[in-house]
């Protein structure tokens, strides 16, 4: 069941540039377990879209199957959603994006949905550089089927039952970097301060923006010995660089707050300000990004933040040179060559 939230809001609730309150970006009440990391990510998604003043109906939400894939019901109720089949969200997103290139596509998936059953589709949507935001709510286990290990569970990490994970884990961010995503980031559901600007940057990026969010499963995988637990992540988190996200057209003042002063301009004109110069260079280097991830791993650390960024890549439509009008808006005059052409074709076949 999905439940609706009470509609009452404070009459003087803050509005964004479109005049909407945060309410316009909310969805139904979550049916996930109390304390689930996914709910925090949902909240961050709501904040990101609200603060960026994006029309909710210009967003398309897509998901696969699993706890994470249920969450689109809990945000952006004015957006169309597509809760598809297990591991196949990327192909549905590809098709939807082909039909209308002008909307914002937000895919939500989990570690089972992406790293196991859907790993093929994940790999290829990265290669295609589809213009979308791909969020993985990563808890290292299958929640909806009661806590089996997933492919992102770290080898040796102990789960609820106390057994260490026997197999090597898949690092989705490393995969994403290697397979051609131009924007790769890792966040933690418990760190909204980092997650909201990270999502905003992902939304502004043109091409595939991959955001892996470690999101503890309070019911099945939150033992302190699990590397996907609140405790462990808090203790081992290492941020790459604190950064600010400045949306397009917002006045850039000289004061960037906490000393951020290295701007990286995204495709739509928005700016990410990084704190340290070396980060800018590191960000655009795949090998460095991979090395940093591996190094952190060997130090028992989880590296968070934007891990890799190439703001100048071409998305699928740019490569395809798709016409500016969304394909779903073309009519017969644009599409059908007509009978004269057909008669000439007949003649050429004789």
Partner 1 sequence: MKRIERTNDFVVRFANVNGSGSASANNLFAKVIYRLGVPVSPKNVFPSNIQGLPTWYEVRLSEKGYLGRRGGADFIIAVNGQTLRDDYDMVQPGGYFLYDSTRELPPDFTRTDITVIDIPLTRLCNEEFTDNRMRQLMKNIIYIGALAYLLDIGLEPVSDSVRKQFAKKPKLADPNIRALEIGYGYAEKNHNGRCGLKVEPTDAVGDRVLIDGNSATALGALYGGATVVGWYPITPSTSVVEAFERYANRYRVDPETGQKRYAAVQAEDELAAIGIAIGAGWNGARSFTATSGPGISLMSEFLGLAYFTEIPLVVINVQRSGPSTGMPTRTQQADLLACAYASHGDTRNVLLFPSDPHECFEMTADSFDLAERLQTPIIIMSDLDIGMNDHLSQPFSWDDSRSYDRGKVLSGEDLDRIEKKWGRYLDVDKDGICYRTLPGAHPEKGAYTTRGTSHTEYAAYTEASSAYERGMRRLLNKWETARCMVPLPEFTIRTEEKKIGALYFGSTTAAAVEALDRLQENGTLINSMRIKAFPFQHEVFSFISEHDIVFAIEQNRDSQMQILLAGECQVAPGKLIPVTNFNGLPITARMITNQIHTTLLAREKPFIAPASAAQEARS
Smallest gap, in angstroms, from Cβ of residue 106 to partner 1? 11
Smallest gap, in angstroms, from Cβ of residue 26 to partner 1? 13
Choose the stretch contacting partner 1; rule: CB under 8 A; options: 6-14, 122-130, 136-144, 208-216: 122-130
Choose the stretch contacting partner 1; rule: CB under 8 A; options: 142-150, 191-199, 296-304, 333-341: 333-341
* Residues sharing a CB contact under 8 Å with residue 347, sequence separation 6 or more, in sequence order: none
* Residues sharing a CB contact under 8 Å with residue 54, sequence separation 6 or more, in sequence order: 104, 203
Q: Write out the binding residues for partner 1, residues 75-114 only, by CB under 8 A.
A: 77-85, 88, 90-100, 102-103
Could you say whether residue 314 binds partner 1 (CB under 8 A)?
no
| DSSP H or E segment with residue 339 | helix 339-348
180: number of Cβ within 10 Å = 18
Rounded to whole angstroms, the Cα distance separating 315 from 294 reads: 28
Q: What sign results for the dihedral spanned by CA atoms 22, 24, 27, 28?
A: positive
Could you say whether residue 324 binds partner 1 (CB under 8 A)?
yes
Smallest gap, in angstroms, from Cβ of residue 235 to partner 1? 37
Smallest gap, in angstroms, from Cβ of residue 77 to partner 1? 7
Q: Which of 48, 56, 339, 338 is nearest to 211 (CA)?
A: 48
Q: Which of 43, 52, 61, 50 is nearest to 25 (CA)?
A: 50
Could you say whether residue 61 binds partner 1 (CB under 8 A)?
yes
Largest Cα–Cα separation, the chain: 76
Choose the stretch contacting partner 1; rule: CB under 8 A; options: 33-41, 121-129, 255-263, 267-275: 121-129
Compare residues 2 and 299 and give the one whose CB is closer to partner 1: 2
- Interface residue list for partner 1 (CB under 8 A): 1-2, 55-58, 60-62, 72-73, 77-85, 88, 90-100, 102-103, 120-121, 123-124, 128, 316-317, 320-324, 327-332, 334-339, 341-343, 345-346, 349-350
């Amino acid at each position: 069941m999905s439940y609706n939230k009470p509609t009452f809001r404070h009459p003087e609730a803050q509005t964004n540039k479109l005049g909407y309150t945060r309410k316009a970006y909310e969805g139904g009440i979550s049916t996930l377990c109390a304390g689930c990391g996914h709910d925090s990510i949902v909240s961050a998604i709501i904040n990101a879209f609200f603060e960026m003043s994006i029309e909710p109906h210009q967003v398309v939400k897509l998901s696969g199957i699993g706890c994470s894939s249920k969450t689109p019901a809990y945000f952006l109720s004015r957006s169309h959603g597509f809760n598809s089949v297990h591991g196949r969200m990327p192909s549905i997103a590809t098709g939807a994006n082909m039909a209308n290139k002008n909307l914002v596509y937000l895919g939500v998936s989990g570690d089972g949905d992406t790293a196991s059953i859907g790993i093929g589709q994940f790999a290829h949507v990265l290669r295609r550089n589809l213009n979308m935001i791909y969020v993985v709510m990563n808890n290292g286990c299958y929640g909806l089927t009661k806590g089996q290990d997933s492919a992102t569970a770290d080898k040796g990490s102990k789960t609820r039952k106390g057994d260490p994970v026997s197999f090597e884990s898949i690092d989705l961010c490393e995969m994403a970097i290697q397979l051609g995503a131009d924007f790769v980031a890792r966040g933690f559901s418990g760190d909204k301060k980092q997650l909201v600007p990270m999502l905003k940057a992902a939304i502004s990026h043109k091409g595939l923006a991959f955001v892996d969010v470690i999101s503890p499963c309070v019911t099945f995988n939150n033992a302190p010995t699990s590397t996907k637990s609140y405790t462990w992540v808090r203790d081992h988190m290492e941020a790459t660089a604190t950064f600010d996200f400045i949306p397009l057209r917002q006045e850039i003042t000289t004061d960037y707050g906490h000393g951020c002063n290295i701007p990286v301009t995204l495709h739509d004109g928005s700016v990410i300000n990084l704190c340290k110069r070396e980060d800018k260079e590191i960000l655009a280097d795949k090998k460095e990004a991979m090395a940093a991830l591996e190094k952190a791993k060997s130090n028992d650390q989880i590296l968070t933040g934007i891990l890799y960024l190439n703001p100048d890549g071409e998305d699928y439509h740019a490569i395809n040179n798709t016409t500016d009008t969304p394909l779903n808006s073309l009519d017969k005059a644009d599409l059908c060559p007509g009978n004269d052409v057909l008669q000439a074709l007949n003649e050429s076949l004789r």
